[in-house]
Copies of this chain bind each other. A is one copy, B any other.
Amino acid sequence: MSRTSTPQVSEACVDFMNIEFVRYAIESSKSSKEPGKSAAHKLERMGFRVGQKLAERYTRSRPRFTGELDRIKFLCKDFWQIVFKKHIDNLRTNHRGVYVLYDARFRWLLTLSGPGALEHAQDYIHFPRGLIRGCCAALGLSCTVSTDVPALPTCTFTVKITNKTTRA
């Protein structure tokens, strides 16, 4: 990872905090009295809240969205830039509420390697899945998000819009 002369708060800080999130959720699920609440569920819930707050903050002073696609573009460009310092590499849609977001180098999978890495990668996509759902919620879109890691560090997020509120 390249270093710039000005220390970048963001990237390393967010990355290391994310690693702790994952480790902690897994650990605490093991010792929890409520095993039904899985680490995946917890991580997604945390991601949801962070995503929602971030989207609320960063849409505060921008022009109104003109439609669903406009909102998804905000997610793929602005929101992804805010969290991951890059845009989603490819966006496809069936124009009926399904959007496939393709990140060729998903930052939270970049450091995984070795045997079991692909399996371990699953732990790292619950939080971002929540982030996406939270961002969409803040933009007035309910959705489900499924993920796929075909090969490290690639990640595909399939967003299915389930209903739309009238919030602009």
Contacts and interface: CB of A to CB of B under 8 A. Distances in A.
Size class of A's contact patch?
Answer: 35 or more
A85 B9 contact: yes
Given A28-B32, A46-B24, A17 B14 contact: yes
Nearest to A58: B7
A57 B14 contact: no
Contacts of A14: 9-10, 13-14, 17
A16 B83 contact: no
A60 B7 CA distance: 12
Contacts of A13: 10, 14, 50, 54, 82-83
17 contacts: A3-B61, A8-B82, A9-B10, A9-B14, A10-B11, A12-B57, A13-B54, A13-B82, A14-B14, A14-B17, A16-B50, A19-B49, A20-B46, A20-B50, A21-B21, A28-B28, A28-B42
Contact of A33 (B12, B17, B21, B31): B31
Nearest to A20: B46
Contacts of A3: 60-61
Given A14-B14, A17-B21, A20-B50, 16 more contacts: A3-B60, A3-B61, A7-B81, A7-B82, A9-B14, A9-B81, A13-B14, A17-B17, A17-B18, A20-B46, A20-B49, A24-B28, A24-B46, A28-B42, A31-B32, A31-B37
A82 B12 contact: yes
Contacts of A25: 24
A34 interface: yes
Interface string A16-55: 1111110011001001111001000010001001100110
